[in-house]
Amino acid sequence: QKEVEQNSGPLSVPEGAIASLNCTYSDRGSQSFFWYRQYSGKSPELIMFIYSNGDKEDGRFTAQLNKASQYVSLLIRDSQPSDSATYLCAVVGGLNDMRFGAGTRLTVKP
Amino acid sequence: DTEVTQTPKHLVMGMTNKKSLKCEQHMGHRAMYWYKQKAKKPPELMFVYSYEKLSINESVPSRFSPECPNSSLLNLHLHALQPEDSALYLCASSHRDRTYEQYFGPGTRLTVT
């Protein structure tokens, strides 16, 4: 069974702080990695994707990938209360089958 | 434009009913997906269509029947469902050949009574 693991949280950070979300995966053949944000009662929204080892930055978000360690992370700088949501790590294997982690619930306190 | 639309937004059906969920995208994506999401759980993949052909069926019960009439449309036909099938049903699409980023529709909230 190909697994994607995340800490379920909740993770609580003060407004303006850096939120760090982590994810590990078991399938060494995985090539594509995604972070989705899901507000309660809404559908997942793609916020970052990364395919190569290293860092990828987009505004306040940075995705980090280490394939040797089978680890992917998401950093949110200058966290805002509107960032409060569940963050889903997703990994795509060779059959284009996306597997999600259980999600980490983030709360940003004003 | 990264819009995927789904209808209806909400559906209540009895266990003997037949209903269909619809999904549409006009982004030129050639892969489309159905997911099921229960409360406080991640989405679970049900079906994948690639170039209008079913490529993945995650051992979903036959009371769920997918259909892809053309590259823009995806249906999920429902028949003889059970109360435990109540969930949020999500459709997604992606460019099959270029990227694997999947864009989700708003979902259909299904309640089986």
Mean pLDDT of A82-100: 88
Of the listed ranges A98-102, B63-67, B94-98, the one predicted with least confidence? B94-98
Q: Would you call A98 and B100 a contact, using CB atoms and an 8 Å cutoff?
A: yes
Q: Would you call B101 and A98 a contact, using CB atoms and an 8 Å cutoff?
A: no
Q: Would you call B102 and A98 a contact, using CB atoms and an 8 Å cutoff?
A: yes
Closest chain A residue by Cα to residue B39: A41
Mean pLDDT of B19-26: 96
- Residues on chain B touching A102 (C-beta within 8 angstroms): 41-42
User: B6, B32, B40: best mutation site toward chain A, by most A Cβ within 10 Å?
Assistant: B40
- Residues on chain B touching A25 (C-beta within 8 angstroms): none
Mean pLDDT of A78-85: 97
How far is residue B87's CA from residue B107's CA, in Å, rounded to a whole number? 10
What's the pLDDT at A2? Answer: 65
Per the model's pLDDT, the better-predicted residue between B56 and A17 turns out to be: A17
How far is residue B16's CA from residue B2's CA, in Å, rounded to a whole number? 36
Look at the block and give the residue holding tokens 């823009």: B72
Output helix, strand, coil percentages for chain A, rounded to the nearest 5: 5, 55, 40
CA atoms within 13 A on the CB side of A92: 17
pLDDT in tens, A1-50: 668 999 878 999 999 999 999 999 998 888 899 999 999 999 999 999 99
Q: Using 50, 70 and 90 to split pLDDT, how confident is the model at B7?
A: very high
What's the pLDDT at A63? Answer: 98
